Structure 1
Amino acid sequence: MRNKASLTPTLLRLLDSVRYEVLPTASTEDKVLAHVPRDVTVTVTASPSKGLDATLDLAERLAGHGYTVVPHIAARMVTGRAELAEICGRLTGKGITRVFVPGGDADPAGDYADALALLLDLTELGRPFEQVGITGYPESHPTIHDDLTVQAMWDKRHYATHVVSNLTFDPAVIRDWVHRLRGRGVTMPLLLGIPGPVDRTKLLTMATKIGVGESTRFLAKHKGTFARLAAPGGFTGERFLEQCAPTLAEPTSLVEGLHVFTFNQIAETEAWRQGLLGRLRG
């Protein structure tokens, strides 16, 4: 087992290569502008109740402010190739070069039953984006068998550039999943999904108000996980990263950075990151 000091360079690298997931609400733009440095990438979730326009509008505004932005294009929310082509033209016209393509939990609005179908059409449209992320599931997916989730990543490997892991709170799960992923020949770089600091009351309010979003849905389906996240002393991002660090430091893990689910606790998340960076740098 490596000692803590030997893992500090890995932790610093990951915290310096961070991106924040935000929900497209009326106050999100102001929160990002007030608290997020321009060198931090911002990803914007897709909400079936709000529609893709809310995601695209916020992404365009943040890009205009100088942020690197990654809008989520949830496959089941897109009606087909014609709408997808319009979305691609809209985003690339604003200089947006990165997207994230989950399947989404909504009923299909048209031709795309899953993320792979949309990824195939992105390829047919000439691969308009430099980076295309897909979802990985360290924890068991509520409706998809584990073997199928890994197979899905294998099927998407020619059409995506990296994997973003969904939330888990168990370092052993991360270790086993990363080893399994690489053992199956999935060599795409990985961004590790972790929660930012969460206030339980605010999170419950957000879940009620939004009712959607990859991270909010995850918590709704994993009540035991939520209890662990919200309990005093039950989970801290710092301890979780330290426990994951031996796996993340392995050259074969290809973990390039952190994807932080902020739950729109944006100021608190950046304060947490800066505090941890300060402690690690001594």
Structure 2
Amino acid sequence: MSALKSVHKSVQRSVHKSAPLARRGQRADRDRAMRRLLTQTRYEVLPTATTEDKVVASVPTDVAVTVTASPGKGLEATLALSERLAGHGYAVVPHLAARMVRDRVELVEIRARLREAGISSIFVPGGDAEPAGDYADAFGLLEDLATLEDPFVHVGIAGYPESHPTIADDLTVQAMWDKRRHATHVVSNLTFDPATIRDWVARMRLRGITMPLLLGMPGPIDRAKLLTMATKIGVGESTRFLAKHKGTFARLAAPGGFTGERFLRDCAVVAAQPSAGIEGLHVFTFNQVAETEAWRQKLLSELPA
């Protein structure tokens, strides 16, 4: 059996074999994986007028903070908030949406500005805006970044466990392969289904994509608001399916529907397998940072030390 097939089978077995978690050892492995993921967590925030105060008031400085970029607010809002949060002592990860960067000259300026602020990590999605200049996708920007002096230590790229709204699934996996030389890790987009994560991780590893993975998941946001926000940020089949199946929407929005705890517990079964390469969490807070940090601390307190 090839090494890649072995990885695939290992990740696939992790859920099928352990789903009931009947054995105490399996439960212990899951709990250890949950604690590791909750310890290696970073929070995604939106650059609004109140974000800085919310983060400083609620988030310890040992939790990294990522700052999104959107066409509506412009890249300057992302960069300015990132600089201020770095000044408070946070490890900050600004999103450099490739289509929002005009050209190599602006990229050099951004790199210098962020490095001056002590920022050593970035996340490079393609972005949803019309290209502002030379970069139509993340790959072109990553190629230029790789040629600059004083590079960033950590460079994340996007992964899509579910269908991207505008890009075919095969192309998103191929894009990860193409970008692997210029990136240090993958950040998965939001999904509600642990089985989707399991299967996607297996496919990714089978294709030879070995970069560490940060698992994208929602924080303890109100479920109805979660669906509204998820639609806006481009989740794939989860939201499209829910739009067509009102009963499923009702179950998700009602008490006892989707919960982050259950999602994380199920994904931790996969993360317990070293072959999965899941090293931490990327939590979509939707700026509910106080609630998210309280949720994280509660889960940690309930797990065995």
Regarding TM over 0.5, the answer is yes
Match of 1:34 in 2: 57
TM-score normalized by the length of structure 1: 0.92
Match of 1:260 in 2: 283
- Looking at structure 1, the residues matched to 89 and 194 of structure 2 have their Cα atoms a distance apart, in angstroms, of 35
- Looking at structure 2, the residues matched to 114 and 243 of structure 1 have their Cα atoms a distance apart, in angstroms, of 33
Larger radius of gyration between Structure 1 and Structure 2: 2
How many residue pairs get aligned? The number is 275
Say which SS state the counterpart of residue 201 (structure 2) adopts.
helix
Match of 1:157 in 2: 180
Match of 1:210 in 2: none
Query: Residue 263 of structure 2: which of 223, 227, 240 is its match?
Result: 240
Q: Work out whether residues 165 and 236 of structure 2, in 8 Å CA contact, stay in contact via their aligned partners in 1.
A: no
Report whether the alignment pairs 1:198 with 2:198: no
- Looking at structure 1, the residues matched to 46 and 114 of structure 2 have their Cα atoms a distance apart, in angstroms, of 18
- Looking at structure 1, the residues matched to 227 and 211 of structure 2 have their Cα atoms a distance apart, in angstroms, of 34
| 26-35 vs 140-149, greater mean Cα deviation | 140-149
Q: Work out whether residues 4 and 242 of structure 1, in 8 Å CA contact, stay in contact via their aligned partners in 2.
A: no
Distance 1:101 1:271, change over 3 A: same
Match of 1:278 in 2: 301
Q: Percent identity?
A: 67
Q: CA deviation at 1:245?
A: 1.7
Match of 2:8 in 1: none
Say which SS state the counterpart of residue 303 (structure 2) adopts.
helix
Distance 1:149 1:25, change over 3 A: same
Q: Work out whether residues 160 and 172 of structure 2, in 8 Å CA contact, stay in contact via their aligned partners in 1.
A: yes
| 48-57 vs 120-129, greater mean Cα deviation | 120-129
Report whether the alignment pairs 1:109 with 2:125: no
Q: Work out whether residues 162 and 236 of structure 2, in 8 Å CA contact, stay in contact via their aligned partners in 1.
A: no
Query: Residue 92 of structure 1: which of 115, 121, 124 is its match?
Result: 115
Q: CA deviation at 1:224?
A: 4.6
Q: Work out whether residues 44 and 286 of structure 2, in 8 Å CA contact, stay in contact via their aligned partners in 1.
A: yes
- Looking at structure 2, the residues matched to 68 and 129 of structure 1 have their Cα atoms a distance apart, in angstroms, of 13
Q: Work out whether residues 74 and 103 of structure 1, in 8 Å CA contact, stay in contact via their aligned partners in 2.
A: yes
Query: Residue 234 of structure 2: which of 212, 218, 230 is its match?
Result: 218
Distance 1:134 1:220, change over 3 A: closer
- Looking at structure 2, the residues matched to 252 and 127 of structure 1 have their Cα atoms a distance apart, in angstroms, of 32
Unpaired segments ≥5 residues, structure 2: 1-17, 244-248
Distance 1:171 1:230, change over 3 A: same
Q: CA deviation at 1:171?
A: 1.0
- Looking at structure 1, the residues matched to 150 and 210 of structure 2 have their Cα atoms a distance apart, in angstroms, of 20
Distance 1:248 1:203, change over 3 A: closer
* 2:94 partner amino acid: P
Match of 2:10 in 1: none
Distance 1:130 1:234, change over 3 A: same
Distance 1:202 1:147, change over 3 A: closer
Match of 1:6 in 2: 29
Residues 81-100 of structure 1: CA distance to partner in whole angstroms, max 9, x if unpaired? 00000000100011100000
Q: Work out whether residues 68 and 95 of structure 2, in 8 Å CA contact, stay in contact via their aligned partners in 1.
A: yes
Distance 1:215 1:249, change over 3 A: farther
Query: Residue 163 of structure 2: which of 133, 136, 140 is its match?
Result: 140
Q: CA deviation at 1:216?
A: 3.7
